[in-house]
Chains A and B, each alone.
Chain A
């Protein structure tokens, strides 16, 4: 202990800072619940100052106030309880102040800061703000913040796109607000705008990491989420996808608190695919098997691909403070193998925060975070690049042994790569070195005035290396391949906020004015080569080297003003406006204006309510409404407004060739207008809480690529021509059904529903690139519907097998052996090409003799397929049920069940494996065995509707069992043992690995696409956390 104290002194000395020797006040006391049980970890702050502390394990706190004012207002808050404050008029000596907090499940007194004029209690808010606390993140057993958020926020759809240890995550807040841009929210950590890009520096089949994975969740204190324009207007042109504001841990006054934790993780695949085990080769059907046919051995290549994976996570933090200085420092190392053999992820990170009170009206806070992460990747999937391991498995055939023979060589008998060879021979890695730093200067020169200046800095270099040696089965690279790509990112934001709070005869006024400057620079440099020299792994060793060099820069300035009036504790009205200018906007559209207005009315504060019987039944009742606008600029590249001329070299002369895309000199951000209504209700002594929100978003000026007349000399142009809508509801019910000294049960239900609709697309439909032409944006439909060959159906939905003759009669198709139609209509014309308008989509669909193939269903009907909407990857609703049970003082159990309903998944994996040439999975086995009609899998191969499945699921997302003990040894002040299970079980009808993953990775429109992406593992971890 002495050693630690010394360390503490050294830190203080090193910083050249020491406590000011003035008269000082010490406040101490206990904080308990209504049963008298201590509320360990409750947060105490001295209002109007940066001073504060937390309740220790004995249930008590001590707070030293160096220069006490005439009145000290001490406020205490704790999750699940109402906030309380006491005013202390003593200015020196020691004062005892005890608090007993009462239950408040909806946290009416919780203070939030995102998008509001000044730190504001939930009670006053005109819009819903979701908060997530450190304990919830810790209990998730998740190595990434965004992954931990799954299910915890009403109105958020969190999808883990890949089961790799650093697999990418997509978050959609109240649906998608863009087609061409990035639809993930804006992330801010301690005032720094933090980049969350998912660059594909190397082709891994489709997926990619998203860079939020660089942040260690153990450093997080609290997360606030605002979901749309109504709440986020102050963030201007970057707020269309919502804002996630993350606050990291800070030091607290007192002796150093050391936390050491270690966790052991075990991951396994939850479900493997059933492979074809039929003992005869392709094309041999049960009834055709003759004695001459040799039996063959079939293999399950998954045995060579998947493994039981292990990982560890170690973490240490020191937090403390004395005098005018508080500090927090942490270091962590996370390492986890993937369930795909050969894949792994390591992350080492350190974080330091220093809070320094400069004088009675100024304080400075600086933070620094360095992360070095490294992944070893195994390519899988086949949306971009077809040389993956699972890709090789699914293309099969599974009639060869993929394991190396005794000489160490691998069979090349597969259609694509040998899955085991991919794992053993390829070398794909990604390394990211990242620094995030911030500095905040806070001034409170006189009562009511607060000035904050923030400097944020985020920079990283992500380097991807890929190497395929000579002589592998890699399709397209028989002579090897090498690539190196580096992305250098830099973001700086400067923010100045000035707020003034005044009380104008009963009317509380809060004025906020601010300015921001945001600068971003990204450069990507890539070199690659094929046809490698022996042994050498660098690009230099290859022939036909290709270089890519792209540099982008952009600037955004914004100013804003916001005014909130509060009448008593019951009526709060806010008006705000933000003016933005960005280098990416056209000159004519450079300035963008975003207004906002909101109001909340706490009826339960009115006298008539307080004095009626309602008050005891419904102690809290608030109505809120808000309206606002925001912008989206993720679809605008830094230089899209220009007509760009690309360099070329032709016979020794250098040239500049104009793009076929015409510049858009008048380009402007996508604009969202959102209206939101809601109510917050606290019932039964605030033991039952209800939060309801309904919202409507309309996005105008949606950016779409439109065709132009070719006689302009160009083909297309990016234009603000589309529209999109999101409508939905969010419901949060939280209750404490049992609250006894030895048994406390807290239960929460979160339900969200969103309906998206896109409009303004030229010609009604836009097929999304790199989606096998199966994903589309279609007017009047949710974004990203699957569009492809469907069964032709009548109005009743029955599959049709007929065509309409000129006299209106329905006739059977006839065709020859090649599958060409031989039908003749009443006018004697061959029925070869039938044009008609689909009644459902009003889109022209076309059928012709060469496409697609006729389909045999159950050997009876033969039908043609036509293009139609065949599925929707957007869920109808999502719901989460969380239960937290505390047994006695030491044991707690938390469970989270996530429900996603009504999302479709296109099972491309199964489709491929069903076709006879591949024949890897059980579908083809059924055909071989005669359970399915001979030729069935081939006949339905091109009817994509056949391969769309319901991806609804109910998952046991999290189970965590914690045991706390208080051993009086080794200077321990607390010890906790956690057993955490993640994604343990899934109830679903999905035939593939996992309905959650998406080979489209973090792409905006390509969702619900299954093409051998790594499934999300079942993960169990055991952790020990010790506090000193």
Chain B
């Protein structure tokens, strides 16, 4: 009797214990209060909006730094002013620039990271319930950012993925195809916002103020059509860009303009005297716009350097243009030259040469006499190159321009690019079997 009562009691206790362990126990699926998960971001409207904001933040504070600074050294727009081994390699270029160099990885990875975010937005935004105008805005914005990332990738590497792959087996495409993909994305972006104008929700909660989506899409369409060799399309797109519009990346104390930091605070990179080219004309108003003359030499390599006057880099909250209106005129000049319309090309060149600061929304004016040199294709290419280096100083285009406009190949001449393309980063080669051979130089 006693014993059976005891057994009952214990059975009840055991059962109770099991229930206690089982029910009062906690779920195995604990959500993270510190950060959002991929699922939370990609399947909710709030998450998609927040990802679209962070894509812009990452691009403007981080990726853009790599696009302006790193190829800037290779193109000789900037000199290094420190003895870090990776920077010495970068300025030496040629065979000294090894695939393990972290700066190359910066250009590569930051582009691909922007692409992942843009791709996640493009893939998921159609399935999320939201205002159609918000959806169209995000969709177009993501396509524009992916196109910009692809463009800068193809300006630094001979081949590149046009789609990221979470499994680490992204396939590579020749740069012409990469530019073509950028053009395709921008055409899509253009038709998306034409079909449905972005909502005020998009403009206030997603799009960062100062950024002109419409004109930026057209301007980059012009740029990548030119780089892809679609001259007429480039001219058409450039003509659609409002010459008075200003589209800018904005910064605040939490999201600093780090190029200012690199040039002014750390002083690791400094602008070269005369934009780093031999062919600058005295009296060019853009010299004073971008540079503050300085007699000093860079350390360790002793190149003539100047201080920065460019209003885009003189404070930690200075805005950086998304594109410069002057680029559109120079795109037209080059595309017309490509189409054989020499006269039209010279007209566009003169428009830039004679532009007064007051006529440019950013205040860039060469204030030079009209072009009086030879009008052979080669001479005009050199002139366009010279104008681009001056007009578009430190916009990440110098390297691409020199290569495209017939400047001499890599050499140790500190006024010529030191490589044609970067080698593929070691980290990509070691982890992705599809990585192609490195370019010769």
Pair from one complex: yes
Q: Which A residues fall within an 8 A CB radius of B?
A: 361, 441, 443, 445-446, 451, 453, 494, 496, 498, 515, 517, 519, 549-555, 557, 581-583, 590, 638-639, 642-660, 662-663, 707-715, 763, 833, 848, 850-851
- Asked if B50 contacts A655 (CB within 8 A), the reply is yes
- The answer, yes or no, to whether B341 is at the interface (CB within 8 Å) is no
Q: A496-B17, A515-B21, A656-B51 are in contact. Are A645 and B30 (CB under 8 A)?
A: no
- Asked if B10 contacts A639 (CB within 8 A), the reply is no
Cα(A638)–Cα(B17), bound, Å: 27
Identify A660's interface contact among B29, B47, B113, B166, CB under 8 A: B113
- Known A-B contacts: A658-B113, A710-B427, A712-B164. Give 19 more (CB < 8 A): A515-B18, A550-B34, A552-B34, A553-B30, A557-B21, A650-B57, A653-B206, A658-B38, A707-B431, A709-B428, A710-B108, A710-B109, A711-B112, A711-B161, A711-B432, A712-B167, A713-B164, A763-B430, A850-B88
Nearest CB of A to B33, in Å: 5
- The answer, yes or no, to whether B168 is at the interface (CB within 8 Å) is yes
Going nearest first, the 6 A-B pairs with the smallest beta carbon separation are: A713-B116, A655-B53, A655-B54, A711-B170, A644-B35, A709-B431
Q: A642-B32, A643-B37, A709-B428 are in contact. Are A651 and B252 (CB under 8 A)?
A: yes
Cα(A673)–Cα(B57), bound, Å: 47
- Asked if B13 contacts A443 (CB within 8 A), the reply is yes
B32's nearest neighbour on chain A, judged by CB, is A639
- Asked if A451 contacts B10 (CB within 8 A), the reply is yes
- Asked if B25 contacts A653 (CB within 8 A), the reply is no
- Asked if B37 contacts A644 (CB within 8 A), the reply is yes
- Asked if B38 contacts A643 (CB within 8 A), the reply is yes
- Asked if A650 contacts B53 (CB within 8 A), the reply is yes
Cα(A446)–Cα(B117), bound, Å: 65
B9's nearest neighbour on chain A, judged by CB, is A445
* Neighbouring A residues of B38 by C-beta, 8 Å: 642-643, 645, 658, 663
* Neighbouring B residues of A557 by C-beta, 8 Å: 21, 25
- Asked if A638 contacts B427 (CB within 8 A), the reply is no
Cα(A711)–Cα(B153), bound, Å: 12
- Asked if A645 contacts B164 (CB within 8 A), the reply is no
Identify A519's interface contact among B26, B96, B113, CB under 8 A: B26
- Asked if B30 contacts A555 (CB within 8 A), the reply is yes
- The answer, yes or no, to whether B395 is at the interface (CB within 8 Å) is no
Cα(A600)–Cα(B137), bound, Å: 74
Cα(A26)–Cα(B27), bound, Å: 52
- Asked if A712 contacts B57 (CB within 8 A), the reply is no
A640's nearest neighbour on chain B, judged by CB, is B32
Q: A644-B36, A650-B54 are in contact. Are A710 and B112 (CB under 8 A)?
A: yes
Cα(A712)–Cα(B164), bound, Å: 5
Most buried by B among A453, A553, A713, A763: A713
B29's nearest neighbour on chain A, judged by CB, is A583
Interface 1/0s, chain B 209-228, versus A by CB < 8 A? 10000000000000000000
Nearest CB of A to B96, in Å: 8
Sample (26) of A-B pairs whose CB atoms are under 8 Å apart = A496-B14, A496-B18, A553-B26, A554-B30, A555-B27, A643-B38, A644-B34, A645-B38, A650-B56, A650-B208, A650-B252, A651-B208, A652-B209, A653-B206, A655-B51, A656-B50, A656-B51, A659-B35, A707-B427, A709-B165, A710-B108, A712-B166, A712-B167, A713-B113, A850-B83, A850-B88
Nearest CB of B to A789, in Å: 14
- The answer, yes or no, to whether B440 is at the interface (CB within 8 Å) is no
Cα(A551)–Cα(B96), bound, Å: 47
* Neighbouring B residues of A645 by C-beta, 8 Å: 35-38, 40-41, 47, 50-51, 54
- The answer, yes or no, to whether B105 is at the interface (CB within 8 Å) is yes
Q: A555-B28, A645-B41, A653-B208 are in contact. Are A710 and B54 (CB under 8 A)?
A: no
- Asked if A710 contacts B428 (CB within 8 A), the reply is yes
Identify A711's interface contact among B13, B33, B85, B164, CB under 8 A: B164
- Asked if B34 contacts A851 (CB within 8 A), the reply is no
Q: A551-B33, A555-B28, A711-B432 are in contact. Are A851 and B85 (CB under 8 A)?
A: yes
- Asked if B57 contacts A655 (CB within 8 A), the reply is yes
Residues of B within 8 Å of A, CB-based: how many?
70
Cα(A582)–Cα(B52), bound, Å: 34
Q: A653-B206, A709-B427 are in contact. Are A451 and B30 (CB under 8 A)?
A: no
* Neighbouring B residues of A707 by C-beta, 8 Å: 427, 430-431
- Asked if A848 contacts B35 (CB within 8 A), the reply is no
Cα(A659)–Cα(B38), bound, Å: 10
Q: A515-B21, A707-B430 are in contact. Are A649 and B254 (CB under 8 A)?
A: yes
Cα(A325)–Cα(B100), bound, Å: 72
- Asked if B7 contacts A445 (CB within 8 A), the reply is yes
Cα(A361)–Cα(B10), bound, Å: 11
- The answer, yes or no, to whether B425 is at the interface (CB within 8 Å) is yes
A658's nearest neighbour on chain B, judged by CB, is B117
Most buried by B among A441, A550, A652: A652
- Asked if A555 contacts B432 (CB within 8 A), the reply is no
Nearest CB of A to B192, in Å: 21
* Neighbouring A residues of B17 by C-beta, 8 Å: 453, 496
Most buried by A among B38, B105, B116: B38
Q: A550-B34, A555-B26, A555-B27 are in contact. Are A654 and B117 (CB under 8 A)?
A: no
* Neighbouring A residues of B167 by C-beta, 8 Å: 712
Instruction: For chain B, residues 1 to 31, give those with C-beta under 8 angstroms from any C-beta of chain A.
Output: 3, 6-7, 10, 13-14, 17-18, 20-21, 25-30
- Asked if B35 contacts A646 (CB within 8 A), the reply is yes
* Neighbouring B residues of A649 by C-beta, 8 Å: 254
Cα(A549)–Cα(B35), bound, Å: 11
* Neighbouring B residues of A554 by C-beta, 8 Å: 30
- Asked if A517 contacts B21 (CB within 8 A), the reply is yes
Cα(A851)–Cα(B83), bound, Å: 10
Cα(A658)–Cα(B55), bound, Å: 9
Nearest CB of B to A552, in Å: 8
- The answer, yes or no, to whether B205 is at the interface (CB within 8 Å) is yes
* Neighbouring A residues of B20 by C-beta, 8 Å: 494
Cα(A557)–Cα(B23), bound, Å: 12
Identify B168's interface contact among A656, A658, A709, A763, CB under 8 A: A709
- The answer, yes or no, to whether B58 is at the interface (CB within 8 Å) is yes
Cα(A582)–Cα(B109), bound, Å: 34
Q: A445-B10, A551-B33 are in contact. Are A517 and B427 (CB under 8 A)?
A: no
Cα(A550)–Cα(B32), bound, Å: 10
* Neighbouring B residues of A583 by C-beta, 8 Å: 26-30
* Neighbouring A residues of B252 by C-beta, 8 Å: 650-651
Nearest CB of A to B176, in Å: 19
* Neighbouring A residues of B51 by C-beta, 8 Å: 645, 655-656, 658
* Neighbouring B residues of A654 by C-beta, 8 Å: 50, 53
Cα(A553)–Cα(B55), bound, Å: 30
- Asked if A653 contacts B30 (CB within 8 A), the reply is no
- The answer, yes or no, to whether B186 is at the interface (CB within 8 Å) is no
Instruction: For chain B, residues 47 to 100, give those with C-beta under 8 angstroms from any C-beta of chain A.
Output: 47, 50-58, 83, 85, 88, 96
Most buried by B among A519, A656, A711: A711
- Asked if A445 contacts B6 (CB within 8 A), the reply is yes
Most buried by B among A441, A551, A655, A663: A655
* Neighbouring B residues of A552 by C-beta, 8 Å: 34
A644's nearest neighbour on chain B, judged by CB, is B35
- Asked if B25 contacts A656 (CB within 8 A), the reply is no
Cα(A764)–Cα(B164), bound, Å: 28
Cα(A651)–Cα(B208), bound, Å: 7
Cα(A441)–Cα(B17), bound, Å: 11
Nearest CB of B to A846, in Å: 9
- Asked if B168 contacts A708 (CB within 8 A), the reply is yes
Q: A645-B41, A713-B112, A713-B115 are in contact. Are A850 and B164 (CB under 8 A)?
A: no
- Asked if B25 contacts A662 (CB within 8 A), the reply is no
Nearest CB of A to B100, in Å: 10
Cα(A446)–Cα(B85), bound, Å: 77
* Neighbouring A residues of B300 by C-beta, 8 Å: 850
- The answer, yes or no, to whether B250 is at the interface (CB within 8 Å) is yes
Cα(A361)–Cα(B5), bound, Å: 12
Q: A496-B21, A712-B167, A850-B88 are in contact. Are A656 and B427 (CB under 8 A)?
A: no
B16's nearest neighbour on chain A, judged by CB, is A453
